[in-house]
């Protein structure tokens, strides 16, 4: 049975959450609480169960406030403010339900937190990514599109903080964090978190960075200029260029340390640049494989000149001919066909936008065997400039 989304997604711009940490007995026990405010957006989907709907989360942003943990034998450990977004969301483990009879909504959120992105985790003893499970429950009046009440249960961390034992040098970590992203639009850079962008000669790209911790100096090459710890910069390279950010700083005990990050701006050369597309099967559309590229990931002049269907690396799935439709960022539609391993001319379509591919002469309704999904479909686009 095909389950279509029910209406537009529901977006709550104000929600609260609390993280409760329970320290181990070795460190004196105690509970520590982090507070956050933010927003969450989700979509309701029809199910086979009458009166019940499935919930999928489409967006999330929680901004945590700075706080301090007082660790016995060590003193206060400061946790700076940080933000969790949909990039930390594990969609496969995030599930929810809404029942029509009592209007009850329950969401089990799975957030994957990486110490490389949240340096305070290393200071607290985490050396590998951790999945945090969150339960959000309450009442949703869908007919009036109003949330009557929700509340967040404490985040459940894996076991008490037995790793928080005090030993010499345990907290002698570099305090630096470095986020370095690139986009065609400075406003979209922190949201997309891209480290690579495609532009045409003369197009602009925005370098965006934020360096945290005890920073002493930040430089960006190839020009080697010294910059502030948080800023953005417009660049127009004539050829493909990798920009490197280097931050110097201090550890908690005053020793020197550093942090590096880099992004790449690829400059398109007509007839030479190949863009690989992996389209994913869409279970909520009929016989459609979908690929979307935000406009901020390519320059305004980048277009597709030729395209062909290819087998994915390691895959065996394919059909010999595909129809496709492309809707550009301005909402303009375009349709054509492509064949396996055969280049087809495309009339200078922007590479950004939504691409929907459908195999021609697919049997039946193109549904995979029960309980399975179709493999991705791969395409190659030869890029050019207009």
Whether residue 57 contacts residue 91, with contact meaning beta carbons closer than 8 Å, is answered with yes
Grouping H, G, I as helix, E, B as strand and the rest as coil, residue 197 is strand
Which position has the higher pLDDT, 224 or 69?
224
Q: Does the pLDDT at position 242 exceed 90?
A: yes
Q: Does the pLDDT at position 358 exceed 90?
A: yes
**Arithmetic mean of pLDDT, 283-311:** 91
**Arithmetic mean of pLDDT, 254-263:** 87
**CA neighbours closer than 13 Å in the CB half-sphere of residue 238:** 0
- Residue environment code for 310-340, b if the CB has 16+ CB neighbours within 10 A, otherwise e: bebeeeeebbeebebebebeeeeebeeebee
How would residue 146 be classed by pLDDT, with cut points 50, 70 and 90?
very low
Q: How far is residue 99's CA from residue 106's CA, in Å, rounded to a whole number? A: 9
Q: What is the pLDDT of residue 273?
A: 84
Q: How far is residue 339's CA from residue 127's CA, in Å, rounded to a whole number? A: 47
**Is domain 177-267 annotated with CATH 2.60.40?**
yes
HEC string of the chain equals CCCCEEEEEEEEEEEEEEEEEEECHHHCCCEEEEEEEEEEEEEEEECCCCCEEEEEEEEEEEEECCEEEEECCCEEEEECCEEEEHHHECCCCCEEEEECCCCEEEEEEEEEECCCCCCHHHHCCCCCCEEEEEEEEEEEECCCCEEEEEEECCCECCCCECCCCCCCCCCCCECCEEEEEEECCCCCHHHHCCCEEEECCCCCEEEEEEEECCEEEEEEECCCEEECCEEEEEECCCCCEEEEEEEEEEECCCCEEEEEEEEEEEECCCCCEEEEEEEEECCCCCCCEEEEECHHHECCCEEEEEEEEECCCCCCCCCCEEEEEEECCCCCEEEEEEEECECEEEEEEECCEEEEEEECCCCCCCCCCCCCCCCCEEEEEEEEEC
How would residue 164 be classed by pLDDT, with cut points 50, 70 and 90?
very low
* Least confident span in 23-27, 56-60, 67-71: 23-27
How would residue 14 be classed by pLDDT, with cut points 50, 70 and 90?
very low
**Arithmetic mean of pLDDT, 225-252:** 92
Of the spans 114-128, 170-184, 253-267, which averages the highest pLDDT? 253-267
How would residue 357 be classed by pLDDT, with cut points 50, 70 and 90?
very high
Our CA angle for 240, 275, 386, nearest 5°, is 70
Q: What is the pLDDT of residue 214?
A: 85
Q: Does the pLDDT at position 271 exceed 80?
A: no
Q: How far is residue 263's CA from residue 205's CA, in Å, rounded to a whole number? A: 11
* Other beta carbons less than 10 A from residue 17's beta carbon: 21
The one-character DSSP state at 345 is E
Q: How far is residue 349's CA from residue 327's CA, in Å, rounded to a whole number? A: 9
Q: What is the pLDDT of residue 160?
A: 39
How would residue 29 be classed by pLDDT, with cut points 50, 70 and 90?
low
Grouping H, G, I as helix, E, B as strand and the rest as coil, residue 342 is strand
Q: How far is residue 175's CA from residue 258's CA, in Å, rounded to a whole number? A: 9
Q: What is the pLDDT of residue 76?
A: 67
Q: Does the pLDDT at position 308 exceed 80?
A: yes
Q: Where are the domains of the chain?
A: 5-152, 177-267, 273-385
Q: What is the pLDDT of residue 246?
A: 95
Q: Does the pLDDT at position 115 exceed 90?
A: no
**Arithmetic mean of pLDDT, 183-206:** 93
Q: What is the pLDDT of residue 4?
A: 39
Q: Does the pLDDT at position 27 exceed 70?
A: no
pTM: 0.57
Q: How far is residue 312's CA from residue 378's CA, in Å, rounded to a whole number? A: 5
For the chain, percent of residues with pLDDT exceeding 70: 75
How would residue 173 be classed by pLDDT, with cut points 50, 70 and 90?
low
Q: What is the pLDDT of residue 163?
A: 39
How would residue 123 be classed by pLDDT, with cut points 50, 70 and 90?
low
Q: What is the pLDDT of residue 71?
A: 60
Q: How far is residue 275's CA from residue 265's CA, in Å, rounded to a whole number? A: 14
Residue in 115, 74, 111, 77 with CA at minimum distance from that of residue 91: 111
Q: What are the residues whose beta carbons fall under 8 Å from the beta carbon of 124, sequence distance 6 or more?
A: 77, 161, 163, 164
Q: Does the pLDDT at position 26 exceed 60?
A: no
Q: Is the dihedral of CA 367, 287, 309, 275 positive or negative?
A: negative
**Arithmetic mean of pLDDT, 370-377:** 79
How would residue 18 be classed by pLDDT, with cut points 50, 70 and 90?
low
Report which secondary-structure segment, H or E, holds 240: none
273-385 matches 177-267 in CATH topology: no
* Least confident span in 15-24, 321-330, 372-381: 15-24
How would residue 368 be classed by pLDDT, with cut points 50, 70 and 90?
confident
**Arithmetic mean of pLDDT, 358-385:** 83
Q: Which CATH number fits domain 273-385: 1.20.120, 3.30.1560, 1.20.950, 2.60.120?
A: 2.60.120
Residue in 171, 184, 173 with CA at minimum distance from that of residue 214: 173
How would residue 147 be classed by pLDDT, with cut points 50, 70 and 90?
very low
């Amino acid at each position: 049975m095909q389950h279509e989304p029910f209406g537009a997604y529901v977006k709550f711009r104000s929600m609260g959450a609390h993280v409760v940490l329970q320290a181990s007995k070795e460190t004196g026990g105690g509970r520590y609480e982090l507070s956050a405010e933010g927003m969450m957006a989700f979509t309701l989907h029809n199910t086979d169960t009458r009166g019940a709907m499935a919930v999928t989360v489409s967006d999330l942003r929680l901004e945590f406030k700075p706080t301090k943990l007082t660790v016995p034998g060590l003193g206060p450990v400061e946790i700076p403010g940080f933000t969790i977004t949909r990039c930390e969301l594990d969609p496969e483990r995030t599930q929810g339900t809404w029942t029509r009879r009592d209007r009850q909504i329950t969401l089990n959120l799975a957030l994957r937190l990486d110490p490389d992105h949240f340096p305070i985790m290393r200071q607290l003893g985490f050396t590998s990514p951790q999945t945090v499970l969150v339960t959000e429950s309450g009442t949703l009046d869908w007919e009036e599109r109003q949330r009557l009440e929700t509340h967040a249960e404490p985040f459940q961390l894996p076991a008490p903080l037995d790793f928080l034992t005090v030993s010499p040098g345990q907290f002698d970590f570099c305090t630096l964090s470095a986020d370095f992203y690139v986009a065609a639009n400075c406003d979209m850079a922190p949201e997309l978190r891209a480290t690579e962008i495609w532009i045409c000669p003369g197009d602009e790209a925005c370098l965006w960075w934020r360096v945290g911790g005890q920073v002493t100096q930040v430089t960006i090459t190839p020009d080697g200029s010294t910059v502030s710890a948080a800023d953005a910069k417009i660049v127009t390279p004539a050829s493909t260029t990798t920009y490197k950010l280097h931050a110097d700083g201090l550890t908690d005990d005053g020793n020197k340390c550093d942090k590096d990050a880099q992004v790449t701006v690829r400059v398109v050369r007509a007839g030479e640049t190949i863009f690989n597309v992996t389209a994913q099967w869409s279970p909520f559309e009929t016989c459609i494989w979908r690929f979307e590229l935000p406009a901020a990931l390519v320059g305004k002049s980048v277009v597709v000149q030729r395209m062909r269907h290819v087998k994915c690396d390691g895959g065996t799935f394919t059909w010999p001919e595909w129809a496709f439709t492309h809707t550009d960022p301005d909402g303009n539609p375009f349709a054509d066909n492509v064949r396996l391993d055969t280049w087809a001319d495309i009339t200078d379509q922007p590479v950004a936008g939504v691409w929907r591919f459908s195999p021609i002469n697919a049997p039946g309704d193109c549904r995979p065997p029960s309980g399975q999904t179709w493999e991705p479909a791969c395409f190659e686009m030869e890029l050019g400039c207009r």
